[in-house]
């Protein structure tokens, strides 16, 4: 019974997390091709490959759905819920602060409060939590480690491209924000 609840919770959190990532914004059609776009696209592909690696492993039917014990299942559930909570609150906070300036034809507010006051890229943190939740639940340890490495390399490429665009747009304001707030793991990176 507990495993069915865990699978249901993981599935629900995954769906809501994905919706928060892909839900179109009001101003998406006005976005311009920014510097670092190629790195961002390659990073996205690597992140998708990491999820595919962790989730697509085929196991014999004799292996249980969850490869680890109950504590790992609980950790997976907590990480999935954290990913859901972080992605939804970050998306809502970002949309509230997203101001389009018709005069400049650009977005003029660097969001630094809410979840963005803890990490600069809370959606990336949520994605990492979701990968860990899925990997803890479904993957063997070597596959999970390979998925994490692939994901982090892709994430660093995305950070490079995105932060290059943010530095170009917000200059000193972003440099100050960058020096005060970690990228995607609080207190670490």
What are residue 107's DSSP bridge partners? 100
Residue 100 lies in a domain: yes
Residue 185 lies in a domain: no
Number of separate domains in the chain: 1
Chain center to CA of 28: 19
Residue 158 lies in a domain: yes
Cα dihedral 71, 48, 115, 188 sign:
positive
Q: What is the pLDDT of residue 70?
A: 79
Q: What is the pTM of this model?
A: 0.76
Q: What is the pLDDT of residue 66?
A: 54
Residue 142 lies in a domain: yes
Q: What is the pLDDT of residue 103?
A: 46
Q: What is the pLDDT of residue 104?
A: 45
Helix ranges restricted to H, the chain: 2-22, 37-55, 70-97, 122-138, 141-170, 172-180
Residue 14 lies in a domain: yes
Residue 189 lies in a domain: no
Q: What is the mean pLDDT of each run of 10 residues along the chain (189 residues)?
A: 70 72 52 67 84 71 57 87 90 67 58 88 92 87 91 92 85 90 85
Residue 28 lies in a domain: no
Q: What is the pLDDT of residue 21?
A: 59
Q: What is the pLDDT of residue 43?
A: 85
What are residue 119's DSSP bridge partners? 182
Task: Copy the structure tokens of residue 76.
Answer: 């997976």
Q: What is the pLDDT of residue 157?
A: 92
Residue 29 lies in a domain: no
Considering only CA atoms, which of 85, 23, 18 is closest in space to residue 55?
18
Q: What is the pLDDT of residue 62?
A: 46
Q: What is the pLDDT of residue 35?
A: 62
Q: What is the pLDDT of residue 162?
A: 85
Q: What is the pLDDT of residue 107?
A: 57
Range of the domain at 174: 2-23+35-180
Q: Count the Cβ atoms, other than its own, within 10 Å of residue 175.
A: 12
């Amino acid at each position: 019974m507990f495993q069915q609840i865990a699978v249901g919770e993981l599935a629900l959190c995954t769906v809501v997390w994905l919706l928060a990532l892909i839900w179109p914004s009001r101003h998406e059609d006005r976005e311009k091709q920014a510097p670092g776009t190629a790195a961002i696209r390659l990073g996205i592909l690597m992140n998708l490959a990491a999820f595919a690696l962790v989730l697509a492993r085929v196991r014999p039917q004799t292996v249980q759905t969850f490869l680890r014990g109950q504590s790992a299942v609980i950790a997976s559930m907590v990480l999935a819920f954290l990913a859901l909570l972080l992605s939804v609150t970050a998306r809502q906070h970002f949309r509230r602060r997203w101001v389009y300036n018709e005069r400049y034809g650009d977005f003029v507010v660097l969001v630094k409060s809410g979840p963005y006051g803890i990490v600069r890229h809370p959606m990336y943190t949520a994605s990492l939590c979701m990968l860990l939740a899925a990997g803890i639940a479904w993957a063997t340890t070597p596959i999970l480690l390979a998925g994490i490495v692939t994901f982090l390399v892709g994430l660093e490429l995305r950070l490079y491209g995105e932060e290059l665009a943010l530095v170009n747009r917000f200059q000193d304001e972003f440099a100050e924000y960058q020096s005060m707030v970690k990228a995607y793991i609080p207190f670490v990176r």
